[in-house]
Amino acid sequence: MIDNDDRDIAHLRRIARHVDPAPHGVHAAARAAIRTRDLGAELADLMADSAVTAGSLAFDMVRLDSAADTEARMLSFHGGGVQIELQVSDQGEPLAVAGLITGASPNSCVLQHSNASERRLELDRLGRFLVTDVPQGPTRMRCRSVSGSWVNTPWVSL
């Protein structure tokens, strides 16, 4: 009886994968989350995302370049004494990400992507940075706060 049940369950799983497959990027995001998990880090809260529909934490979109015809996505994170403001261009791939980070130790911030790439951010004296070659897909920030604890943003799809 158990063998028939296992066979039937396996058959139902194949049907479900065929009829209702996982959305694009879900498997990559799951692998990235497991591969880069850090149980000791504090998770920064997503305070605002301009891509979220009206009536939520969204705020107005602003332009990355005043001459550009497309609008940028704005994201704001806060946690563990670190505040991260991101502006993501909507100009195709690769993306440009400009940001302002406060409360982080100098040279301690990285931009992580689900493809296992990690980019150390060079912050200017005001905490600003610009990265112009960010691939689309699940991405997060990781910084060490001035108090020494690690702070991660949640994975967001850019």
Show the low-confidence residues of the chain (pLDDT under 70).
1-2, 32-40, 53-70
Distance CA 18, CA 6 (A): 19
pLDDT at 71: 78
pLDDT at 53: 55
Domain limits, the chain: 2-157
pLDDT at 35: 61
Q: Parallel, antiparallel, or unpaired for β 156-157 and 138-144?
A: antiparallel
Give all strands of the β-sheet with 82-88 in edge-to-edge order.
Answer: 45-49, 73-79, 82-88, 95-102, 128-134
pLDDT at 43: 87
**Helix, strand or coil, per DSSP, at residue 134:** strand
| pTM for the whole structure | 0.67
